[in-house]
């Protein structure tokens, strides 16, 4: 393969037969809620776009404003508000239900439409003769949550994706406070679903998720909101991703012990509440496959599976087999480089 | 973004707003038919799997054995024999036609089935209530060519994907001879379509495509076969890829002046016959988006577009805009690092 396999920051390699076919570099921060580093590799102080990995933090105002309770969102709907979902029927239905509870419909979603991320869901939609709507957008739950918040605090939802809309200001403030960063409304890019995208160092993202997982450093309202979101996602892991998706499989296996969330372009953020740890991963090349294997490798190191099914799920996610169209095993993906030194990473107790 | 942007072998970067969100490393070889290096970056002597990028070379025995003429393949079918096609109806129909001309049908294809690579084609197939067959496999044309060859030389096609089948031995021999490498039947991995995958250095791949584009160093039969394949692909660029695909768009714009072929896991090979050049690209992380931008950047440097439409296609392929689900421009992809020194690469005449 190419030119980087011996390099220090290669975190994941893809094999074919006995050779390394491709390799992925990146950076990782594992930090406790006091900011103490448990494991790091690569540069964790360069700002990166967390993208959808911070949806759970962006959902805090939905609870802190009382909007979730006032419109009567279920736990499944709370989980959807943190989702990058596959656009399966249950996802689209729940997004529509959230909007209905706010007295609105999908016409006020500003995320845009795309075919369901789930291939089977996309084919089923095509077979039904329907076209995708904004409800199928993987961010529709997050956006429905923004609409619920706007309606309850009494502002027009229109334009909620703008950085200066009252709802988006609350969302950005929550992200800044939880990660301990300054997010300048003038210094943002635009995300796939049109909300502002702010770049944040992995060190701050990991700290934010350590806090999100423990409530450490939060006021009572925020600590309760974070706890409710974690519990809702642990109870409904299907709603945050979908059939066969990494996040759903891992959280189905580990319940409340692991909160993991994918972001586009090779980002993962996670909280391991029992251990008081936050994790943040960025693969330089933006590859989701690499971020998943790295995240599963980290979770496998820090969390002991409680049963055989959980252990086998984690082994499969951390070292996936690659099979071709005839089902023949052609290679695998596996963590490497600095991840092989994880054994030296110890958690302060 | 991550840890590598300043590094020498970053070849492509993805921006979001004013920041680099992701970056891709890799190696490039641009070589003439005498083996003289015109441009190189990264390590071009490490063996890499070219995957589907060498399908045109693997199609040489189909012509050299006389099989293509004996069964009466059209130029469109010859192009399909070199294709990683999108599984659109014209592709599947042409593959079926090739098999029919050999007195066979899709039941003897050993490539396996998958949903069409073309999203619209996949949705249309799903809407029709059909399931994908081996004819929709992006390699079905190559495999149909193998079957035609077997039937004409009088061997049972069954098992043609095996390294020791007479057809596959001829295919491997052609690949070894054209690239000037030794390919040991014992030292191979397995490709997505189940044929052997051999690792070959970029230097040898680029040399092979310089020869493929010029016939330099080939005997008359091989030179004629290569010329016919290039002409067939130039006449039917849709057949080698599909609607909106990079290879189809670039070759539609440049005709016989550029032969480009994608391979899985971030590989591209190309021939620029007028200039006597062969190109080979491997992106370390296996990203097709990076290999495409790098290839378009190389083609843009070496080939002067003859008209405005060709120039604008090449500009779009070399520096694609990134737009979100609402059509808002959020960033771009562009060549960088060593590719900025391309101006120093001169072609010996």
pLDDT tens column, B282-332: 999 999 999 999 999 999 999 988 889 999 999 999 999 999 999 999 999
**Cβ-defined contact of A325 to B112 (cutoff 8 Å):** yes
8 A C-beta contact, residue B202 and residue B48? yes
pLDDT (tens digit, 9 = 90+) per residue, A83-108? 999 999 999 999 999 999 999 999 99
Residues 6+ apart with CB under 8 A from A219: none
Q: What distance in Å separates the CA atoms of residue A227 and residue B281, rounded to the nearest whole number?
A: 49
ipTM: 0.95
The angle formed by the CA atoms of residues B302, B305 and B308, to the nearest 5 degrees, is 150
Q: What distance in Å separates the CA atoms of residue B259 and residue A198, rounded to the nearest whole number?
A: 41
Residue from the list B26, B111, B188 with its beta carbon closest to the beta carbon of A2: B26
Residue from the list A3, A17, A49 with its beta carbon closest to the beta carbon of B21: A49
pTM for the full model? 0.96
8 A C-beta contact, residue A339 and residue A297? yes
Say yes or no to pLDDT of B192 above 70.
yes
Q: What distance in Å separates the CA atoms of residue A83 and residue A251, rounded to the nearest whole number?
A: 13
% of chain B with per-residue pLDDT over 70: 97
**Cβ-defined contact of B25 to A4 (cutoff 8 Å):** yes
Backbone φ and ψ of A221, nearest 5°: -65, -45
The length of chain B, given as a count of residues:
349
| A88 alpha-carbon distance from chain centroid | 18
Say yes or no to pLDDT of A7 above 70.
no
DSSP at B37 = E
Residues 6+ apart with CB under 8 A from A151: A67, A71, A102, A103, A104, A157
pLDDT (tens digit, 9 = 90+) per residue, B125-173? 999 999 999 999 999 999 999 999 999 999 999 999 999 999 999 999 9
User: How confident is the model at residue B14, as a pLDDT?
Assistant: 98
User: How confident is the model at residue A276, as a pLDDT?
Assistant: 97
Say yes or no to pLDDT of A244 above 70.
yes
User: How confident is the model at residue A4, as a pLDDT?
Assistant: 36
On average, the pLDDT of chain B sits at 95
Residue from the list B17, B23, B286 with its beta carbon closest to the beta carbon of A22: B286
For chain B, how far is it from start to end, CA to CA, in angstroms?
A: 42
pLDDT (tens digit, 9 = 90+) per residue, B234-280? 999 999 999 999 999 999 999 999 999 999 999 999 999 999 999 99
On chain A, the residues whose CB falls within 8 A of the CB of B42 are 2-3
Q: What distance in Å separates the CA atoms of residue A238 and residue B212, rounded to the nearest whole number?
A: 51
**Which of A6, A22, A115, A294 best probes binding to B when mutated, by most B CB atoms within 10 angstroms?**
A22
On chain A, the residues whose CB falls within 8 A of the CB of B265 are 14, 21-22
Say yes or no to pLDDT of A8 above 90.
no
Distance in Å, alpha carbon of A77 to nearest chain B alpha carbon: 23
Say yes or no to pLDDT of B342 above 90.
no
Residues 6+ apart with CB under 8 A from A195: A161, A168, A171
Model confidence at B3, pLDDT cuts 50, 70, 90, reads very low
**Which of B2, B5, B132, B140 best probes binding to A when mutated, by most A CB atoms within 10 angstroms?**
B2
On average, the pLDDT of chain A sits at 95
Residue from the list A137, A189, A265 with its beta carbon closest to the beta carbon of B325: A137
Q: What distance in Å separates the CA atoms of residue B233 and residue B260, rounded to the nearest whole number?
A: 10
Say yes or no to pLDDT of A2 above 50.
no
| A283 alpha-carbon distance from chain centroid | 14
User: How confident is the model at residue B7, as a pLDDT?
Assistant: 54
Helical axes A308-318 vs A288-302, angle rounded to 10°: 140
Distance in Å, alpha carbon of B216 to nearest chain A alpha carbon: 28
Q: What distance in Å separates the CA atoms of residue B318 and residue B309, rounded to the nearest whole number?
A: 14
Q: Give the Cβ contact number of residue A103 at 10 Å.
A: 10
Q: Which of B304, B282, B249, B250 is nearest to B43 (CA)?
A: B282
Residue from the list A22, A46, A119 with its beta carbon closest to the beta carbon of B284: A22
| B335 alpha-carbon distance from chain centroid | 20
Q: Which of B125, B95, B275 is nearest to B193 (CA)?
A: B95
Q: Give the Cβ contact number of residue A304 at 10 Å.
A: 10
8 A C-beta contact, residue B233 and residue B240? yes
Q: What distance in Å separates the CA atoms of residue A41 and residue A30, rounded to the nearest whole number?
A: 9
The two three-digit tokens of residue A245, written as one number: 């998706």
How is A42-106 classified by DSSP, letter by letter? S-SSSEE--GGGGHHHHTHHHHHTSHHHHHT--HHHHHHTT------HHHHHHHHHHHHHTT--G
Give the DSSP H/E element, type plus range, for residue A220: helix A220-235
Q: What distance in Å separates the CA atoms of residue A224 and residue A215, rounded to the nearest whole number?
A: 8
Give the residue, A234 or B7, on which the prediction is more confident.
A234
Three-class secondary structure of residue B18 per DSSP: coil
8 A C-beta contact, residue A335 and residue A11? yes
8 A C-beta contact, residue B10 and residue B25? yes
On chain B, the residues whose CB falls within 8 A of the CB of A290 are 285
The two three-digit tokens of residue B171, written as one number: 């295919």
**Cβ-defined contact of A25 to B22 (cutoff 8 Å):** no
On chain A, the residues whose CB falls within 8 A of the CB of B197 are 16-17
Three-class secondary structure of residue A323 per DSSP: strand
Q: What distance in Å separates the CA atoms of residue B241 and residue B243, rounded to the nearest whole number?
A: 7
Rg of chain A (C-alpha set):
20
Phi-psi label, residue B32: left if phi above 0, alpha if psi -120 to 50, beta otherwise: beta
The length of chain A, given as a count of residues:
349
For chain A, how far is it from start to end, CA to CA, in angstroms?
A: 42
User: How confident is the model at residue A325, as a pLDDT?
Assistant: 95
User: How confident is the model at residue B6, as a pLDDT?
Assistant: 42
Model confidence at A189, pLDDT cuts 50, 70, 90, reads very high
8 A C-beta contact, residue B196 and residue B189? yes
The two three-digit tokens of residue B286, written as one number: 């296996």
Rg of chain B (C-alpha set):
20
The two three-digit tokens of residue A83, written as one number: 């989702």
pLDDT (tens digit, 9 = 90+) per residue, A29-76? 999 999 999 999 999 999 999 999 999 999 999 999 999 999 999 999
Residue B316: C-alpha distances to residues A157, B308, B319 (Å): 36, 12, 5
pLDDT (tens digit, 9 = 90+) per residue, A286-320? 999 999 999 999 999 999 888 899 999 999 999 99
């Amino acid at each position: 393969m190419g030119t980087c396999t011996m390099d220090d920051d290669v975190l994941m390699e893809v094999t074919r037969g006995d050779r390394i076919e491709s390799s992925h570099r990146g950076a990782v921060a594992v930090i406790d809620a006091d900011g103490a580093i448990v494991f790091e590799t690569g540069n964790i102080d360069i700002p990166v776009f967390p993208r959808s990995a911070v949806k759970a933090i962006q959902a805090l105002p939905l609870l802190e404003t009382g909007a979730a309770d006032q419109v009567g969102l279920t736990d499944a709907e709370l989980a959807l508000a943190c989702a990058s979902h596959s656009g399966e029927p249950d996802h689209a239905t729940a997004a529509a239900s959230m909007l209905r509870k706010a007295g609105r419909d999908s016409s006020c979603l500003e995320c845009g439409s795309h075919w369901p991320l789930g291939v089977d869901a996309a084919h089923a939609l095509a077979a039904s003769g329907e076209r995708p709507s904004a409800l199928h957008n993987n961010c529709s739950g997050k956006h429905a949550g923004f609409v619920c918040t706007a309606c309850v605090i009494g502002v027009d939802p229109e334009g909620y994706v703008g950085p200066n809309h009252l709802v988006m200001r609350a969302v950005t403030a929550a992200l800044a406070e939880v990660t301990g960063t300054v997010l300048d409304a003038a210094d943002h890019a635009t995300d796939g679903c049109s909300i502002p995208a702010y770049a944040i160092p992995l060190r701050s993202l990991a700290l934010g998720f350590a806090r999100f997982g423990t409530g450490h450093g939060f006021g009572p309202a925020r600590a309760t909101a974070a706890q409710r979101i974690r519990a809702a996602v642990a109870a409904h892991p299907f709603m945050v991703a979908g059939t066969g998706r990494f996040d759903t499989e891992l959280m189905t296996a580990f319940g409340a012990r692991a909160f993991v969330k994918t972001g586009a372009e090779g980002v993962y953020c996670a909280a391991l509440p029992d251990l008081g740890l936050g994790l943040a991963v960025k693969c330089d090349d933006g590859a989701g496959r690499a971020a998943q294997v790295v995240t599963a490798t980290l979770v496998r190191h820090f969390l002991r599976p409680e049963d055989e099914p959980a252990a086998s799920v984690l082994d499969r996610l951390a070292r996936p087999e690659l099979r071709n169209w005839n089902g023949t095993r052609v290679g695998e993906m596996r963590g490497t480089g600095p991840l092989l030194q994880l054994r030296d990473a110890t958690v302060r107790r």
